[in-house]
């Protein structure tokens, strides 16, 4: 990609903020990033007139994708009924979980409430969708309430399947050297306590990822690098062994990123066990069991970061919305078209965020690009027209490689690297500016996204 490439800002740079890509390019790298916190929106282009409609739009899930979609629909439609369904009252800023589990941010940094972001005029039903019936155009909640819709956006995120690991349950997190960054804000805090203890004592640390699709595939790698750094700072790296178990023969789905991580792991003496998929854990004996091509393998640990298999939530997995065959069918991901996120068989239904059965895109940064596309197509459907908006698979991950350094990894469906700041932030380079983005600029931009402003 050259500097003539069409402008594109990642999640880290709000489109409507004064810090547009052009401005970023005009600034020097490090200085630019410190200024990336978006301020008041400065719209360059006048907003199009609202579309008048009586359509009823239901959004299942009030996480990153659901709230961002609600904000954009409320902004663009006049007269629509928009209903968001989600039982959880708290909103979790999940990209911050790693920072909490690294002892860098408090638990409160990642917790807010859904109500904080609910757009005016949008109704929130604090229940869970138990059944999707796209033939009858209705959902049924766990309280037995049936809600009909004209258009449906499914934004339920994914299910962390800890139960699929024999011997594992979330009550074990924070005990006897067992951590898990993914399980939620409280789990991130106690994972930090276990990791901090390990950094002082040394021993064997186990890291890895599941064989399923997963959100932020960089997170397990980041946590390995962060632990390595803490051990070194405590002078305990020589008394410890770090092992990363990969589910296949690579360390990341994008080959060039995989190779870069392999080199970094080699430099930091992190051992890699390829083709190892965790199947069981014995927390009493501190042993993790893995399936390998040659049978099972048992690794003893002093600290482990458990990353569970991830699947579509049961309500989606058990519904007609799931892929019927192919690689996405097994774990029940939604059968949507890659460029539009529209359901392949139910055209008034869209799948956005982690639940979408597409090859890339399980990051909050992807949500930023997916939601405007799906919203464009939904509104075109209301108007009886079509939209040319396309989601190209944009996925991004600021991959922390040590405290104070991170690599900005951005790619699309075709595994092309698609840097947002060519000439300023080189992809695959360990930079302080990227660290600043991850630790300071990302959250304000995420919040802007929830409000439909980025």
Ligand X SMILES: Cc1cc2nc3c(=O)[nH]c(=O)nc-3n(C[C@H](O)[C@H](O)[C@H](O)COP(=O)(O)OP(=O)(O)OC[C@H]3O[C@@H](n4cnc5c(N)ncnc54)[C@H](O)[C@@H]3O)c2cc1C
> What is the spatial distance between Cα 263 and Cα 258, in angstroms, rounded to a whole number?
9
Chosen residue from 117, 149, 162, 182 binding ligand X by CB under 6 A: 182
Least distance (Å) between residue 384 CB and ligand X: 29
Distance of CA 269 to the CA centre of its chain: 28
Least distance (Å) between residue 115 CB and ligand X: 13
Does 66 contact ligand X by CB under 6 A? yes
Q: Which two tokens stand for residue 164?
A: 């699929």
Stretch in the footprint of ligand X (CB under 6 A) among 239-247, 321-329, 357-365, 414-422: 357-365
**CB atoms near residue 251 (< 10 Å):** 24
Provide the angle, in degrees to the nearest 10, between the axes of the packed helices 364-383 and 442-450.
20
DSSP code at position 142: T
Least distance (Å) between residue 216 CB and ligand X: 3
Does 449 contact ligand X by CB under 6 A? no
Does 362 contact ligand X by CB under 6 A? yes
Which CB sits closer to ligand X, 272 or 307?
Answer: 307
Q: Which residue from 354, 358, 356, 442 is spatially nearest to 397, judged by alpha carbons?
A: 442
Tokens 């982690």 locate to 354
Stretch in the footprint of ligand X (CB under 6 A) among 22-30, 94-102, 190-198, 230-238: 94-102
Q: Which two tokens stand for residue 285?
A: 């004996």
Provide the angle, in degrees to the nearest 10, between the axes of the packed helices 219-233 and 255-267.
20
Q: Which residue is nearest to ligand X (CB)?
A: 63
Does 32 contact ligand X by CB under 6 A? no
Q: Which residue from 200, 159, 221, 173 is spatially nearest to 430, judged by alpha carbons?
A: 221
Does 204 contact ligand X by CB under 6 A? no
Least distance (Å) between residue 212 CB and ligand X: 14
Chosen residue from 88, 89, 145, 266 binding ligand X by CB under 6 A: 88
What are the backbone dihedrals phi and psi of residue 450, each rounded to the nearest 5 degrees, phi first? Answer: -60, -30
> What is the spatial distance between Cα 85 and Cα 13, in angstroms, rounded to a whole number?
29
Stretch in the footprint of ligand X (CB under 6 A) among 151-159, 225-233, 292-300, 426-434: 151-159
Does 98 contact ligand X by CB under 6 A? yes
Does 304 contact ligand X by CB under 6 A? no
Which CB sits closer to ligand X, 86 or 228?
Answer: 86
Does 14 contact ligand X by CB under 6 A? no
> What is the spatial distance between Cα 62 and Cα 287, in angstroms, rounded to a whole number?
37
What pairing do the DSSP bridges indicate for beta strands 349-351 and 405-411? unpaired
> What distance, in Å, lies between the first and last C-alpha atoms of the chain?
23
> What is the spatial distance between Cα 417 and Cα 58, in angstroms, rounded to a whole number?
35
Least distance (Å) between residue 238 CB and ligand X: 29
Least distance (Å) between residue 305 CB and ligand X: 10
**CB atoms near residue 127 (< 10 Å):** 17
Which CB sits closer to ligand X, 56 or 291?
Answer: 56
Does 154 contact ligand X by CB under 6 A? no
Chosen residue from 14, 185, 313, 357 binding ligand X by CB under 6 A: 313
Least distance (Å) between residue 297 CB and ligand X: 26
Query: Which residues touch 308 (CB under 8 Å, ≥6 apart)?
Result: 160, 161, 162, 164, 165, 168, 180, 182, 210
Q: Which residue from 423, 397, 392, 393 is spatially nearest to 410, judged by alpha carbons?
A: 397
Distance of CA 444 to the CA centre of its chain: 16
Does 364 contact ligand X by CB under 6 A? yes
Does 128 contact ligand X by CB under 6 A? yes
Does 353 contact ligand X by CB under 6 A? yes
Least distance (Å) between residue 127 CB and ligand X: 8
Stretch in the footprint of ligand X (CB under 6 A) among 30-38, 90-98, 115-123, 290-298: 90-98
Least distance (Å) between residue 223 CB and ligand X: 8
Give 326: exposed, middle or buried? Use CB within 10 Å, 0-12, 13-18, 19+: exposed
Q: Which residue from 253, 399, 255 is spatially nearest to 327, judged by alpha carbons?
A: 253
Does 420 contact ligand X by CB under 6 A? no
What are the backbone dihedrals phi and psi of residue 208, each rounded to the nearest 5 degrees, phi first? Answer: 160, -175
297-320 burial, b at 16+ Cβ within 10 Å, e below that, comes to eebebbbbbbbbbbbbbebbbebe
Does 65 contact ligand X by CB under 6 A? yes
Least distance (Å) between residue 138 CB and ligand X: 14
Least distance (Å) between residue 298 CB and ligand X: 26
Query: 119 near 208, Cβ under 8 Å?
Result: no
Chosen residue from 14, 38, 134, 157 binding ligand X by CB under 6 A: 157
Does 162 contact ligand X by CB under 6 A? no
Query: Residues interacting with ligand X, by CB under 6 A?
Result: 11, 60-66, 85-86, 88, 94-95, 97-98, 128-129, 155-157, 181-182, 215-216, 219, 313, 315, 353-354, 362-365, 367, 396-398
């Amino acid at each position: 990609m050259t500097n003539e490439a069409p402008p594109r800002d990642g999640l880290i740079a709000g489109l409507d903020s004064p810090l547009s890509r052009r401005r970023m390019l005009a600034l020097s790298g490090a200085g630019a990033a410190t200024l990336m916190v978006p301020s008041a929106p400065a719209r360059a282009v006048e907003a199009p007139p609202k579309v008048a409609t009586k359509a009823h739009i239901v959004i299942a899930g009030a996480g990153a994708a659901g709230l961002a979609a609600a904000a954009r629909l409320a902004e663009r439609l006049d007269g629509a009924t928009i209903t968001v369904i989600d039982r959880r009252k708290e909103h979790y800023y999940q990209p911050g979980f790693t920072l909490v589990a690294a002892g860098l941010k408090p638990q409160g940094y990642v917790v807010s409430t859904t109500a904080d972001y609910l757009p005016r005029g949008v109704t929130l039903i604090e229940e869970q969708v138990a059944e999707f019936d796209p033939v009858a155009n209705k959902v049924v909640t766990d309280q037995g309430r049936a809600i009909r819709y004209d258009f449906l956006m499914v934004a339920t995120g994914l299910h962390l399947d800890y139960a699929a690991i024999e011997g594992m349950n979330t009550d074990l997190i924070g005990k006897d050297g067992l951590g898990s960054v993914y399980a939620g804000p409280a789990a991130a805090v106690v994972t930090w306590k276990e990791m901090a203890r390990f950094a002082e004592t040394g021993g064997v640390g186990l890291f890895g990822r599941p064989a399923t699709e997963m959100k932020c595939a960089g997170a397990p790698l980041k946590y390995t690098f962060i632990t390595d750094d803490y051990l070194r700072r405590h002078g305990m790296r020589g008394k410890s062994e770090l092992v990363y178990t990969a589910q296949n023969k690579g360390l990341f789905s994008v080959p060039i990123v995989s190779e870069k991580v392999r080199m970094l792991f080699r430099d930091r003496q992190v051992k890699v066990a390829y083709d190892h998929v965790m199947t069981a854990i014995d927390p009493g004996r501190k042993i993790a069991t893995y399936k390998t091509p040659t049978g099972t393998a048992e690794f003893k640990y002093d600290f482990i970061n458990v990353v569970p298999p991830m699947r579509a939530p049961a309500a989606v997995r058990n519904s007609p919305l799931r892929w019927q065959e192919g690689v996405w069918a097994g774990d029940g991901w939604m059968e949507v078209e890659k460029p539009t996120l529209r359901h392949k068989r139910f055209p008034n239904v869209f799948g956005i965020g982690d639940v979408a059965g597409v090859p890339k895109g399980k990051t909050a940064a992807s949500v930023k690009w997916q939601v405007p596309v799906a919203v464009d197509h939904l509104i075109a459907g209301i108007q009886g027209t079509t939209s040319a908006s396309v989601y190209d698979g944009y996925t991004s991950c600021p991959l922390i490689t040590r405290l104070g350094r991170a690599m900005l990894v951005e790619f699309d469906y075709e595994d092309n690297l698609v840097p947002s700041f060519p000439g300023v932030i080189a992809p695959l380079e360990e930079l302080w500016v990227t660290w600043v983005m991850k630790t300071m600029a990302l959250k304000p931009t995420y919040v802007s996204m929830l409000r439909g402003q980025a």
